[in-house]
Structure 1
Amino acid sequence: MRFAAIDVETANADLSSICQVGVAFFQDGKQVDSWSSLVDPEDEFDGFNVLIHGIDERAVVGAPKWPAVAAEIHVLVTGSVVACHTPFDRAATTLACDKYGLQPFDCRWLDTARVVRRAWPEKFSTTGYGLRKVAKFLGIDFKHHDALEDARAAGEVLCRASAHAGLTVDDWCARVLRPIDPTSDQPITRNGSAEGPLFGNVAVFTGSLTIPRREAADLAARAGCDVAASVTKITTLLIVGDQDISKLNGKSKSSKHLKAEDLIGQGCSIRVLRESDFQSIVVAQAVHG
């Protein structure tokens, strides 16, 4: 249960114009450290942004520029889970790195707004998932629009959601890729493109995938596969999440996987593929035609 939370403020509407960044570090549900810095964005300050966060040109005189700040953050977050509330802070750091020709941070990002939507699905559906509203509901006091304070609040939100749902940070990384209400997820079917390299195949997905099931179905359909909800005698491809296919005990395999193996034993032509191998095939075909 260790992770970092990050937040940035920008000088203007350009997300790459970062003028302040804050990083809060959490261990076992408590903040254990923090780091923050003003940043010289080498850009103009818009009066509207200044009104929000109070940082202007005078405040960043002598402050480091983004390449120096990014180098410090790289050391702090590489290989870690990094939380942020909504995707804007992640996008801002990536765009700032692009601006200076730097590599983006090597970490696993976790959007705490997506976490909130799953931890309390009915609470904010009509009022929005802004950090101030969520923090007020959870009793988290903070100074909004100060980067370090916002980072701390986002981290606290993740800690509260973990305690509420009984999920670890790693669990949340997987959970946010699934529907808000997984029990209401309807079977996903698609008709394959006749121009796709795998046209004529009937594909079925099973197990925990690295991308949302609907995206996987769209990918298969573009490659030419009809996508079905269940394994039958006309199934030709069973695409299994990498973690699931590595399980050796037959009882741990999904019902779809076991049915496919039974049909294969009856003479049906069904190929079982890992998700990563399937994606490699589709990408290679898309590149080379």
Structure 2
Amino acid sequence: MLDPAPASQTDDADMLAPDFLAPDFVVIDVETACSRVSSICQVGIVGFRDGREMFEYETLVDPRDEFNVFNTRIHGITEHHVTGKPCFGDIHGIVDGHLSGRTTVAHSYFDKGALAAACRIHDRPPIQTVWLDSVRVAQRAWPDLASHRLGGLAQYLGITHKHHDALSDARAAGWVIVKAIDHTGIALDEWLKPPRKPGPAPRPAAAGPLAGERIALLGEPRDGRLACAIAALGGRIVSAVGNTTTMLVITGRAPFSYSVRNSGAYRRAEQYRRLGGTIRVVSESELDLPALAAGFASA
């Protein structure tokens, strides 16, 4: 339950981040008082730049609506907590100043719909921003996870998180984006594009130092530059780790990070090894394709 003490709050637009420190992206999370998504009773916003937090904004909000016991049980906010707090119309300018013209992250598009509904109810102009769903990002970055709920992701990625607190939820969703960029090497602007469906794996060359190897990739699509390089040396790219896979190659800047070691592909490879399989787990640098190619060319 929330303490009834006043929440940390930015009171005017002078506290907005200056243009020369504009964030790469901002993250917003809202809590609502009842089943009407317009009934925003808490807003949390965190700005990120260069993989770090650069500002935060949080306030309780008078939803000008009823509080449903179901919602209160989730976030702990009651009518008592918002007495004397601004309504959404009062803070619209601040929220708009943080989001407008920027990339705004939310964990699912519930918050996008809530903001749009609150703008209509309070007769304020819609907030013009580019939305990015951190659920979709997480599903693409860690496809083997059984769930991509924010609480589970935070635990999996080692992010400090207090669920259903708007500021904490916004911060956690922001770190999901930072860690997904670091894990995959996919830049922020690329996440804004529709995901490309991988094409078929390249055909392996008839001969080469990797001939006979059945290789799964973690961190790169089956038709990417690494797959093509492996196929050129005779290796066959497989779509997933199975009992005939001979090698799992891990790409990325942190090939044996906590998230990699807890991925489904890595765990399956380790399981096959424990059962007596000969599958090898190596990083791209350990595989050293340039050296293999040079040796093959000179043979």
TMscore range, shorter length: 0.5 to 0.7
Unpaired stretches in structure 1, ≥5 consecutive residues: 185-289
Shift of residue 169, structure 1, vs aligned partner: 1.4
| 2:139 counterpart of 1:122 | no
Where does residue 199 of structure 2 map in the other structure? 183
Match for 1:9 among 20, 26, 31?
31
In the aligned structure 1, how far is the partner of 2:92 from the partner of 2:163?
Answer: 23
SS at match of 2:180: helix
Amino acid at match of 1:145: H
CA distance 1:70–1:183, change in 2 (3 Å): farther
Amino acid at match of 1:178: P
Amino acid at match of 2:84: G
Where does residue 205 of structure 2 map in the other structure? none
RMSD between superposed Cα atoms in Å:
1.3
**Counterparts of residues 68-217 of structure 1 (less than 5 Å):** 68-124=90-146, 128-174=147-193, 177-178=194-195, 181-183=197-199
* 1:109-149 deviation digits (Å, cap 9, x = unpaired): 0000000111112223xxx3210011111111111111000
Where does residue 242 of structure 1 map in the other structure? none
Contact kept? 1:3, 1:25, Cα under 8 Å = yes
SS at match of 1:182: coil
SS at match of 1:163: helix
* 1:22-64 deviation digits (Å, cap 9, x = unpaired): 0001011111110011110000001111111111001001110
| 2:45 counterpart of 1:23 | yes
Where does residue 66 of structure 1 map in the other structure? 88
Shift of residue 88, structure 1, vs aligned partner: 0.5
Where does residue 236 of structure 1 map in the other structure? none
Unpaired stretches in structure 2, ≥5 consecutive residues: 1-22, 201-299
In the aligned structure 2, how far is the partner of 1:91 from the partner of 1:72?
Answer: 18
In the aligned structure 2, how far is the partner of 1:68 from the partner of 1:76?
Answer: 15
Contact kept? 1:10, 1:16, Cα under 8 Å = yes
Shift of residue 101, structure 1, vs aligned partner: 2.3
**Counterparts of residues 210-289 of structure 1 (less than 5 Å):** none
Aligned length: 178
SS at match of 1:92: helix
SS at match of 2:192: helix
Runs of 4+ in 1 over 6 A off after TM superposition: none
For normalisation by structure 2, the TM-score amounts to 0.58
Amino acid at match of 1:162: I
In the aligned structure 2, how far is the partner of 1:6 from the partner of 1:104?
Answer: 15
Amino acid at match of 1:163: D
* 1:168-202 deviation digits (Å, cap 9, x = unpaired): 2111111xx235x4337xxxxxxxxxxxxxxxxxx
Identity over aligned pairs, percent:
42
For normalisation by structure 1, the TM-score amounts to 0.60
Contact kept? 1:37, 1:69, Cα under 8 Å = no
